[in-house]
Structure 1
Amino acid sequence: MALAVTDGMPLFELSIPCTIFGPGNPEAAGAGYELAVCASPGANVGGWLRSEAAHTLDDLMKADTVIVPACDEAMERPPADLVAAVRAAHDRGARVASICTGAFVLAAAGLLDGRRATTHWMYTGRLAERYPEVEVDPGVLYIDDGDVLTSAGQAAGIDLCLHMVRSDHGVVMANTLARRLVAAPHRAGGQAQFIATPLPGSDGQGSVGDRYGLSALLDRTRERLDEPVTVAELARRANMSPRHFSRQFIALTGTSPLQWLLAQRIRRAQELLETTDESIEHIAAQVGMGTATTLRRNFNRVVGVSPAAYRRAFTESTGLRADADQAPAGQAD
């Protein structure tokens, strides 16, 4: 795995992949990640910290995964040597990911043509104008298009990196890393980048911005995913009308109650598939999906593979991306 460092790169965006994938993280080392920081000659970070990386952009071309953090200069003049190195790495089969304005480097390399992509909401208009072949989505945290991934600004870079760990090594490993970071274990890529109308401060019923105490309700719901629940029932527990509840829920979380509930159930199913040998039918009941058919349909739609293929990938420790499409002939998923 290679991390691109260019002159003027912000320190925060650079530190995210270093923290999650770097040698100082024992979980990352245990997962087999080896991060090489690859810098242009004379590059400085944050305008004051000079890089003395042992690796160059020539080394970046040989990596199996390349991460390009934010680079303000890339919006106007993407560094030609970095663009060439990223294109060469992708041509060799590398997975390429960007954080924030790093998307401009991927666009300049032609990797986003005909694809959905995102960047920080402040710069999505500029990305769309400069690269009209890119389908820019300004409202999401990150987009995984297989071999090319893009994310919004700063904190969304954490979400993207944890998503990459989840794709490579499963929910349990991603959750372990998230706990070390004291970060949310999973925010869906389609979640809104920001909340347009923030809620008032806490009145003692919940966290800051949660005047109705919805956070506690969500915690209780996560603990009882096997129980059937509707939006109307959640609204009743919160002492609100369903319409008012949905508005407040979206304002707090950036997603709808049904989307949030589905994401929690799928994530719990992933954990059970990774860590137990329980049947798909039993797992479906435990996560509130009812039947194996319902779980398979929703799991396939959200994760992109069947529950059986997902379990094989992690049981055999071959990685989801490598094994997702290799179901034995004649086996029903």
Structure 2
Amino acid sequence: MVAFATQGVSSFGLSVVSKVFADRSHLGLPSFACTVCADEGGGLRTDLGLLMEVEHGPEAMSTADLIILLPSDARPLTVRQPVIDALNNAYHRGAIIAAYCTGSFLLAETGLLDGRRAATDWRLADQLAERYPRITVEPVALYVDEERIVTGAGAAAGIDMCLHLLRREHGTAVANAVARETMVAPRRASGQVRYVPTPSDIGAARRAGADDTRLADVLLWARNRLQQALSVDDLARHALMSPRTFARRFRQATGATPHTWLRDQRLDRAEELLETTNLSIQKIAELVGLRSDSVLYYIRRFTGSGSPRLR
């Protein structure tokens, strides 16, 4: 895997790709080699002002299976012709090209996003659409999968995009194992509307701090009972909150409704069982709390996710 960085590269972005695509062969997981390249080798200053030495130029992309264009605080968001050529060559030989946040602007410069859907930071969506009218910008998507072109939104959505790529290429069990090892949520659906807090929401979230432990306990409690028919009332009762208060605090904490979160947890567990066991689809549907295997197929179809056994 090659990460392309420019001046002002996001330190967080660098840490995301290096952590998700780290070598975990000692854990029985796929081994990745993560290389950072830039316009040309030499000194590169991050958004935090740290100076890093980059050994590789665009030539590093020539053998990469995956290339991720990292966000940057520097302006203008442009790339030089050698980089454009290297990215186009990589795509045409079969590599996967990904970008997120302001990295989507860099990818747009190559023309590879023309005629495609794309995501970026929600605050920059209008700017991306105006500058590159041939791109259909999805302003509320966490990430957009266009087969060998994948783009993501801002900040932590880069984690979602990287885990999605792991899940798509290596399976749910691998993606979930990496998520557990890095202590992040294993899945947020690509179409999930990003939670953009208002000032009053921020105040409410701060006041809700005392409930964090109870919410964490509810998440663990629910994950261990996916085979049961759980309602919002059940979760709220376990959290010692009213259903209305619980639903509001739950969304503040997770960015999703309880119903959506439960659906994603069930789907994740179903995919993992499909990949790692020989259980029938009917049995797996029962174990994760789905009424029948037809419901499992339904969820697979309308969430755009699933094990190869469901494809």
Matched residues in 1 for 2:159 and 2:241: separation? 33
Where does structure 1 lack aligned partners over 5 or more consecutive residues? 208-212, 311-323, 325-333
- Give 1:258's aligned residue: 259
Partner-residue secondary structure (3-state), 1:123: helix
Q: Deviations over 1:14-51 (max 9, x none)?
A: 2321222245x446994142333323223503154242
Change in Cα spacing, 1:245 to 1:171, as seen in structure 2 (3 Å) is: same
Matched residues in 2 for 1:101 and 1:30: separation? 30
TM-score calculated relative to the size of structure 1: 0.80
- 1:269: Cα distance to partner? 0.2
Change in Cα spacing, 1:29 to 1:93, as seen in structure 2 (3 Å) is: farther
- 1:166: Cα distance to partner? 1.7
Partner-residue secondary structure (3-state), 2:107: helix
- 1:170: Cα distance to partner? 1.9
- Give 1:34's aligned residue: 33
Matched residues in 2 for 1:43 and 1:80: separation? 20
Q: Deviations over 1:239-269 (max 9, x none)?
A: 6665554444333322222221110110010
- Give 1:19's aligned residue: 19
- Give 1:9's aligned residue: 9
Matched residues in 2 for 1:97 and 1:227: separation? 38
Where does structure 2 lack aligned partners over 5 or more consecutive residues? none
- Give 1:221's aligned residue: 222
For the Cα contact (< 8 Å) 2:14–2:70, is it kept in 1? yes
Q: Deviations over 1:134-168 (max 9, x none)?
A: 22223232222221111222322222222222222
Partner-residue secondary structure (3-state), 1:7: coil
Change in Cα spacing, 1:29 to 1:224, as seen in structure 2 (3 Å) is: closer
1:275-314 to 2 correspondence within 5 Å?
275-304=276-305, 307=307, 309=309
Matched residues in 2 for 1:264 and 1:291: separation? 16
Matched residues in 2 for 1:29 and 1:85: separation? 33
Partner-residue secondary structure (3-state), 1:122: helix
Matched residues in 2 for 1:251 and 1:94: separation? 37
- Give 1:49's aligned residue: 51
Q: Which amino acid aligns with 1:181?
A: T
Matched residues in 1 for 2:22 and 2:253: separation? 32
- Give 1:191's aligned residue: 192
Residue identity over aligned pairs, in percent, reads: 38
- Give 1:98's aligned residue: 99
For the Cα contact (< 8 Å) 2:77–2:106, is it kept in 1? no
- 1:235: Cα distance to partner? 4.5
- 1:64: Cα distance to partner? 2.0
For the Cα contact (< 8 Å) 1:142–1:190, is it kept in 2? yes
For the Cα contact (< 8 Å) 2:39–2:80, is it kept in 1? no
Matched residues in 2 for 1:39 and 1:154: separation? 21
Matched residues in 2 for 1:264 and 1:200: separation? 26
- Give 2:64's aligned residue: 63
Matched residues in 2 for 1:192 and 1:35: separation? 30
Could you say what the CA RMSD is over the residues aligned between the two structures, in angstroms?
Answer: 2.7
Does residue 206 (structure 1) correspond to residue 217 (structure 2)? The answer is: no
Matched residues in 2 for 1:28 and 1:125: separation? 43
- Give 1:315's aligned residue: none
Change in Cα spacing, 1:236 to 1:86, as seen in structure 2 (3 Å) is: same
Does residue 162 (structure 1) correspond to residue 163 (structure 2)? The answer is: yes
Matched residues in 1 for 2:288 and 2:269: separation? 7
Does residue 148 (structure 1) correspond to residue 154 (structure 2)? The answer is: no
Matched residues in 2 for 1:203 and 1:37: separation? 38
Q: Deviations over 1:71-116 (max 9, x none)?
A: 3346543333323322221122211111321100111112222322
For the Cα contact (< 8 Å) 2:266–2:288, is it kept in 1? yes
- 1:237: Cα distance to partner? 4.9
- 1:299: Cα distance to partner? 1.9
Select between 60-69 and 267-276 the one with higher mean Cα deviation.
60-69
- 1:117: Cα distance to partner? 1.6
TM-score calculated relative to the size of structure 2: 0.85
Matched residues in 1 for 2:130 and 2:72: separation? 18
